[in-house]
Amino acid sequence: MRLWRNFPKALCIGLTLVIVNILLGFYPKGILQNLILGQLHEKLPLPLSESDGSMIKKISRLEMDLQLLKESMKLAKMEQEKVDNPLKTAVEAKASKTKQHRPYKKLFPYSWLFKQWGEDLSEAQQKEAEDLFQKFGYNVYLSDRLPLNRSILDTRDSRCLQKTYSSQLPSLGVILIFMDEALSIILRALTSIINRTPARLLKEIILVDDCSSNGELQEDLDKQIKLHNQKHPGLLKIIRHTERRGLAQARHTGWEAATADVVTILDAHIEVNIGWAEPILARIQEDNTVIVSPVFDNIRFDTFKLLKYEVAVDGFNWELWCRYDSLPQAWIELHDATAPIRSPSIMGILAANRLFLGEIGSLDGGMLVYGGENVELSLRVWQCGGKIEVLPCSRVAHLERHHKPYAQDLSPAMKRNALRVAEIWMDEYKYMVYAAWNIPVKNSGINYGDISSRKALREKLKCKTFDWYLKNVYPLLKPIHNMVGYGRMKNSLDGTICLDRGPVPGHTPIMYSCHEFGSQNVYYLLTGEFYVGPLIAQTDADDFCLTDPGIGEQPTLEPCSKAAKNGLHIHWNFRQGGAVINRATKRCLEITKDTSGTYVLVLQICTTQVWEIQHTLRNWESHNGTILSEL
């Protein structure tokens, strides 16, 4: 059950797994376990939580952790499929029993494509499938062989089926944006939209090609559009960017071309489910200031099986990566599984009244490549008089790619876009985004583009503050008001090693060669806490506090609020360039060489060792009164 509750998180976790995969190619595993599981942990707090990590304690290797996670998810999924479709599962089980042996050699034993698929493929077929997989990030070989009009499980709550809608709903325009997607994927998306949207409501489908490079998306796609238009005159339009402009601009291009009352902006790798459109149109008809998100299910990138996701709301962390949050109490208390759910954010896919979306500034064309544009829109919607809701009766199956064809590492784009969002919308809280990414607030060296027109838009619309948003819409995101320093923490004895949260799972901080990953993020608060590891700063999860356990010589890391409740020694005196002294035990955090000559952390009677933290914030003055802050 615990695991099941995490299924919806996979949309975001997908990103983490991609990063893990890339890194596996470059780093020794021990380091990776240390570096990345911290990140994964952050994205997937429940099954890997430090507090109840017994499941993974015995497993030391990163891949095994990930494999275990995948296996568990697969098992849970199979359980669910049994419930959803007992007959099919029984047939499948019989078929696999009769399969004697695998006739072909596995050419790509480590490829994610072949973990759960492709047993019966010849070597040539495996090669073809793997090439396509590497290029697109999903199983194009299989997609090309599946029917375009395949049926998928109706994942709606049964109560959705009883809902009736007015016969006078507004018209719908669907915008599909794409860049280097496989043709069969786009055609399946189109087919699902045409087959599962009442024709009287569907006014237009606008395809926006963000300068794809694969040939089949030129003439072959044009031909298919023509065929559709012969059956449904004037329904489809295609617009092609002549240069790559990123997904926010692609969405904006689609919006500009649309004429319908309501626009729905979708990724190209989706299949809309039965009855998806009516709840959207009815809700926006009722209130044209609502931006709506359907509920996503996951089309697996390898098997193309549908994985049902539980209903959740859309949120984000301080790096502005998306995450799923639990359902609001107020909605649960309604006891109506069909009711709209107020949501702090959207994931990217959205529906809106076309004119209202225009009034509030459509999409910010200054958001480049990928990431953060969903948070930008969300803050703008809420702060400028709109609202966001998830509609449980509208379901869209979304294919989560194993990797993106347009970027190996999404972080640089994400980071840059996050700063742009922070600068335009987050007022005095913007430092939280800088801190989460470990970037200095001044002279960050990152060009987030010209924001003057977006600031002017904010003025014109008389938008509310980010403080209002935090307090009224997203209290789960918890700013750290008294943070005075953040970044790498170095000891004067050796500037090449940094304080590090150490292996995960585990509670033992270490000194380790300095690197750029979140496991070496440190945050110092005026109240005396040191948070070590990727920033969490949310009310539903704890950061990890540097602790003097009082016994032994080793510091530990403990969940901060639990540690505070239990009276553990988590408060330290520290000034930039000074000693780190525990306020209760008076012991100093220092480093010493172990028998192998490696520096290790130690708690001891203070000698003369001093520490530096990488970035400083306002309110933190040195002994002689010089302000060290960057703000």
Tokens of 611: 């520490």
Regarding 297 and contact with ligand UDP (CB under 6 A), the answer is no
Nearer to ligand UDP, 12 or 580 (CB): 12
Nearer to ligand UDP, 177 or 511 (CB): 177
Nearer to ligand UDP, 66 or 363 (CB): 363
Regarding 204 and contact with Mn ion (CB under 5 A), the answer is no
Report the residue from 138, 141, 370, 429 that binds ligand UDP according to the rule CB under 6 A.
370
Regarding 225 and contact with ligand UDP (CB under 6 A), the answer is no
Regarding 152 and contact with ligand UDP (CB under 6 A), the answer is no
Binding region for ligand UDP (CB under 6 A) out of 81-89, 187-195, 242-250, 278-286: 242-250
Pair 619, 526: CB distance under 8 Å: yes
* Interacting residues of 424 by C-beta distance below 8 A, sequence separation 6+: 364, 376, 451, 454, 455, 458
Measuring CA to CA, how many Å separate 384 from each of 360, 448, 458, 461, 466?
A: 7, 22, 8, 6, 11
Please list every residue from 258 through 277 that binds ligand UDP, using CB under 6 A. 267-268
Q: What single DSSP character describes residue 345?
A: B
Pair 394, 297: CB distance under 8 Å: no
Regarding 81 and contact with Mn ion (CB under 5 A), the answer is no
**The entry of ligand UDP, Mn ion, none that residue 296 binds, CB within 5 to 8 Å by partner kind:** none
Regarding 221 and contact with ligand UDP (CB under 6 A), the answer is no
**The entry of Mn ion, ligand UDP, none that residue 610 binds, CB within 5 to 8 Å by partner kind:** none
**The entry of ligand UDP, Mn ion, none that residue 340 binds, CB within 5 to 8 Å by partner kind:** none
* Interacting residues of 609 by C-beta distance below 8 A, sequence separation 6+: 491, 492, 493, 579, 588, 590, 591
Q: Which residue in this structure is represented by tokens 């356990």?
A: 549
d(CA 280, CA 283): 5
What would the DSSP string read from start to end of 510-567?
EEEE--SSGGG-EEEETTS-EEESS---BTTB--EEEEB-SSSS--EEEEHHHHHHTT
> Is the C-alpha dihedral spanning 620, 626, 627, 630 positive or negative?
negative
The CB-of-15 to ligand UDP minimum distance in angstroms stands at: 7
Regarding 65 and contact with ligand UDP (CB under 6 A), the answer is no
What would the DSSP string read from start to end of 155-211?
-S-HHHHT----S-PPPEEEEEEESS--HHHHHHHHHHHHHHS-TTTEEEEEEEE--
The CB-of-357 to Mn ion minimum distance in angstroms stands at: 20
Report the residue from 42, 65, 130, 181 that binds ligand UDP according to the rule CB under 6 A.
181
d(CA 407, CA 413): 9
Tokens of 103: 């006739």
- How many residues are listed for the chain in this entry? 631
Number of residues located near ligand UDP, criterion CB under 6 A: 16
**The entry of Mn ion, ligand UDP, none that residue 179 binds, CB within 5 to 8 Å by partner kind:** ligand UDP
Regarding 252 and contact with ligand UDP (CB under 6 A), the answer is no
Nearer to Mn ion, 294 or 440 (CB): 294
Number of residues located near Mn ion, criterion CB under 5 A: 1
Please list every residue from 244 through 273 that binds Mn ion, using CB under 5 A. 267
d(CA 196, CA 388): 24
Binding region for ligand UDP (CB under 6 A) out of 176-184, 310-318, 474-482, 613-621: 176-184
Binding region for ligand UDP (CB under 6 A) out of 154-162, 173-181, 356-364, 469-477: 173-181
Residues interacting with Mn ion, by CB under 5 A? Answer: 267
Residues interacting with ligand UDP, by CB under 6 A? Answer: 177-179, 181, 210, 244, 246-247, 250, 267-268, 348, 369-370, 404, 406
